Structure 1
């Protein structure tokens, strides 16, 4: 009961992050589901895609009302990304053997590999948010590089499929650095891309997620939605760069906890 209550409290953090920064919350969802709720990693990545997809879509509506969503760019980015994430979920993740590698007494399992990759992505995301946010938020180019947008969509799709993260920590810097969007427009557009990626990715799990705990999944998603609405509101009143830095340190700390658990 205590763990369930804690997971719901952290669901608010997931939503707040998505609403404030257009990303980040998704990389919190899997660790919460695995280490707090006790859900096995592969199933948790599927749950995460649903939670993040629903939450991001609701958060996007707040930015859409303010005309801070670039629909054309979202579609351009999302098409290759959605195709990639669906293929990865449908044909790769669930077909990986439980034991990926064995050297002597060391055995690398699928769950350990997924959580290790997750920790690595979290560290890279945290470093970007803490030390490179000013660069990503301020640099602009005159001619958007749409080839880079498509390529970034594929990369985001692969990562989203493997680790159940929406990819906002990659999408926001990609569309600010390479496509010249202001940061608030980038956040709104990122939320639309994340929602499309995540929900399409979740459909690739349908034949495997036979034991979905729908009451818990929907309750967690509802609380995260409340968080994202609060995040969108607070984001209009608060220094987004400072919040992103604070959240970056939080993500880095969580990644270290995951690595410690893996080593144990």
Structure 2
């Protein structure tokens, strides 16, 4: 499922990986972020090679976006994430680090999905300024670092509505940015000696790569204008699931 999502819509890997790792494999959100960065990053990297051969990559735009994004991502994982206490608040309502991360994750997903659904008929063309892409990259980097997401569920809408790309180019360029962001974040975690489960990484990443080829095949047969609202509804459903899970059935 993670691989199919990345291959088909250039996103959704972390949207699936984080809940799967937390709810089905029992990892904490903080440890799930490290595993998600590797799984999503290595799978996206394979997809990028395919899109490069098809000529779908906007490499210059990706670099404008990715370079500041890497900086903010690495800094947020090194300083912001470890600085948060395990218990954020305990005044009648107990808010844990786990709950905060997952709720923020779901709220961002819902916001991105509404944007995609409402503007599904408004695919724009043209070029965004380098400065705008860099500012947006800084913001996405913080989100990706804090939540352990490649950020594709935010990157794709940004590239369409602010980067002036069609869905096809946004998907491919998003995968390149996700690769750079995710693997940079994972390497930063390695340097910070964050623990991870090697067997889990290999197992999930290898099956995700297999699914990704299926997603790439489907992407060549589905019109981008139909794919955009489909992506929006998918992200919306996952956001609602995570939000309901954390608010009504907290761990």
Report the TM-score, using the length of structure 2 for normalisation. Answer: 0.91
Partner residue, 1:42: 30
Q: Partners of 1:241 and 1:38 in 2: how far apart? A: 37
Find 1:131's aligned residue among 118, 126, 151. Answer: 118
Judging changes above 3 Å, is the alpha-carbon distance between structure 1 residues 147 and 164 closer, same or farther for their aligned structure 2 residues? Answer: same
The correspondence for 1:166, drawn from 137, 143, 150, is 150
State how far apart, in whole Å, the 2-side matches of 1:114 and 1:262 are: 10
In the alignment, which residue of structure 2 is the partner of 1:147? 131
The answer to whether the aligner puts 1:259 opposite 2:243 as a matched pair is yes
- d(CA) in 2 for partners of 1:59, 1:26: 15
Q: Following the alignment from structure 1 to structure 2, what is the Cα–Cα distance between the partners of residues 129 and 181?
A: 14
Q: Output one character per residue of 1:95-150: Cα deviation in whole Å (capped at 9) or x when no partner.
A: 211111232x3221111100110111221232233332332xx2224x53211100
Q: Please give the alpha-carbon distance, in whole angstroms, between the structure 2 residues aligned to 1:30 and 1:22.
A: 16
Q: CA RMSD in A?
A: 1.7
Aligned length: 247
Contact map agreement 1:118 1:163 (CA 8 A) in 2: yes
Q: Distance in 1 between the 2:176 and 2:223 partners?
A: 22
Alignment match of 1:86 (pick from 74, 98, 115):
74
Alpha-carbon shift at residue 244 of structure 1 (Å): 4.1
Does 2:91 align with 1:107?
no
CA 1:140–1:250 in structure 2 vs 1: closer, same or farther (change >3 Å)? closer
- Provide the rounded CA distance (Å) in 1 between the counterparts of 2:224 and 2:117: 12
Q: 1:202 aligns with which of 182, 186, 192?
A: 186
Residue 180 of structure 1: how far off its partner (Å):
2.5
- Supply the distance in 2 between the matched residues of 1:43 and 1:240 (Cα, whole angstroms): 34
Q: 1:67 aligns with which of 37, 55, 68?
A: 55
| Partner Cα distance (1:77, 1:158) in 2 | 13
Compute the displacement of 1:260 (Å): 2.4
**Equivalent-residue separation in structure 2 for 1:185 and 1:140 (angstroms):** 10
Deviation digits for residues 223-244 of structure 1, max 9, x if unmatched? 1111112111110012344344
Residue of structure 2 aligned with 1:30, choices 15, 18, 22: 18
C-alpha separation in 1, matches of 2:61 and 2:118: 27
Secondary structure at the aligned position of 1:204 is classed as helix
Q: What corresponds to 2:174 in structure 1? A: 190
Contact 1:101 1:109 (C-alpha < 8 Å) held by counterparts? yes
1:224-239 alignment, distance < 5 Å: 224-239=208-223
In structure 2, what is the equivalent of residue 76 of structure 1? 64
Q: Is the 1:21–1:240 Cα contact (8 Å) retained in structure 2?
A: no
SS at match of 2:149: coil
Whether the aligned pair in 2 keeps the contact of 1:20 and 1:240 (CA below 8 Å) is no
